[in-house]
């Protein structure tokens, strides 16, 4: 059996940087240590951090109750309001926001101040999008389709700015941009999808088109992993979404001549290697 592992599989720069910052705080003996939301969408990593004393704070109310310690802002980033709460309480901030996300925060803030209505293409429930929205104003909206845009019924005289969640499907974003660009709006389109995300999606599609079975590894709440799964499934009907080796049903790959493996940006290399080794050795 041939096993093809995507070169872009695993931690991206932003995620690795965020995880490293938390472990750095542990190493330095800082206590107590909190992350605002899980540092990444990977249960294995979050569990390991919990065992080392790092606690997850999930709500603004919990955050506002903190009066000491260190709070690590995860790679997804947060809205301006969160910084205000922490600064007011004098809590130390370790900002691990991905630089690509930081760039979007700056764009949204500046474009809103310039009078443009910002439209974010992405999943409104995703923490990255919620954080991006927090740098806009009451007019800042989130869409995932042209129908969503049309339903906003934005006045024709409005000047717009279109940005994207860093992990949004690049092809879907381009299709949406083409449709919106045909309208009469004065619109400033900024492709803010991370380069690493685009490369990962392109490579995943290529690998999936060459194999009998495709394995996509990542946390069940990972947006970028879900996108990879959708892309791979279109190329290979035998595509399976797993978090760890324990989720892999041997029967799924027992008759395959070749297997492809990719992984989301929140998947540690050791998990990818474990899956790769077991698939290659046992089958």
CB contact burial 138-147 (16+ within 10 A = b; e otherwise): eebbbbbebe
pLDDT at 34: 97
pLDDT at 94: 96
Q: Give the three-state DSSP class for 94.
A: strand
CA 193, CA 58: separation in Å to the nearest integer? 26
Domains of the chain, residue spans:
2-10+196-282, 13-97, 100-193
Which CATH number, 3.40.1010.20, 3.30.70.100, 1.10.1370.30, 3.20.20.70, labels domain 100-193? 3.40.1010.20
The yes-or-no verdict on residue 44 having pLDDT over 90 is no
The yes-or-no verdict on residue 283 having pLDDT over 70 is no
pLDDT at 242: 96
pLDDT at 263: 97
Percent of the chain having pLDDT more than 70?
A: 99
The yes-or-no verdict on residue 220 having pLDDT over 90 is no
> Average pLDDT for residues 80-102, to the nearest whole number?
95
Strand 33-36, strand 239-242: pairing: unpaired
- pLDDT tens digits, 223-247: 889 999 999 999 999 999 999 999 9
For the domain covering 2-10+196-282, report its CATH number: 3.40.1010.20
Query: Is 124 known to be catalytic?
Result: no
Find the catalytic residue in 51, 62, 128, 273.
128
Rg of the chain over Cα atoms, rounded to whole angstroms, equals 20
What would the DSSP string read from start to end of 256-283? -SEEEEEE-TT--HHHHHHHHHHHHHH-
The yes-or-no verdict on residue 282 having pLDDT over 80 is no
Which CATH number, 3.50.30.30, 3.30.70.3270, 3.40.50.11270, 3.30.450.40, labels domain 13-97? 3.40.50.11270
> Average pLDDT for residues 154-178, to the nearest whole number?
94
């Amino acid at each position: 059996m041939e096993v093809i592992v995507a070169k872009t599989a695993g931690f991206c720069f932003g995620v690795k940087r965020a995880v490293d910052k938390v472990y750095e705080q542990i190493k330095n003996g800082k206590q107590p240590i909190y992350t605002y939301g899980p540092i990444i969408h990977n249960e294995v990593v979050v569990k390991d951090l919990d065992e080392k004393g790092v606690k997850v704070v999930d709500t603004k109310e919990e955050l506002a109750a903190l009066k000491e310690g260190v709070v690590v802002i995860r790679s997804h980033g947060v809205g301006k309001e969160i910084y205000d709460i922490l600064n007011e309480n004098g809590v130390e901030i370790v900002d691990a926001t991905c630089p690509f996300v930081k760039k979007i925060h700056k764009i949204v803030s500046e474009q809103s101040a310039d009078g443009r209505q910002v439209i974010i293409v992405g999943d409104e429930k995703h923490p990255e999008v919620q954080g991006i929205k927090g740098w806009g104003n009451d007019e800042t909206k989130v869409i995932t389709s042209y129908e969503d845009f049309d339903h906003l019924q934005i006045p024709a005289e409005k000047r717009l700015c279109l940005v994207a969640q860093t992990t949004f499907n690049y092809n879907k974003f381009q299709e949406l941009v083409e449709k919106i660009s045909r309208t009469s709006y004065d619109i400033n389109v900024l492709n803010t999808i991370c380069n690493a995300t685009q490369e990962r999606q392109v490579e995943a599609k290529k690998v999936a088109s060459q194999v009998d079975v495709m394995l996509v590894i990542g946390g069940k709440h990972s947006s970028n992993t879900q996108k990879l799964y959708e892309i791979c499934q279109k190329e290979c009907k035998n595509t399976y979404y797993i978090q760890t080796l324990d989720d892999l049903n041997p029967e799924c790959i027992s008759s395959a001549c070749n297997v492809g493996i990719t992984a989301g940006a929140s998947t540690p290399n050791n998990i990818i290697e474990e899956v790769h080794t077991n698939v290659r050795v046992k089958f």
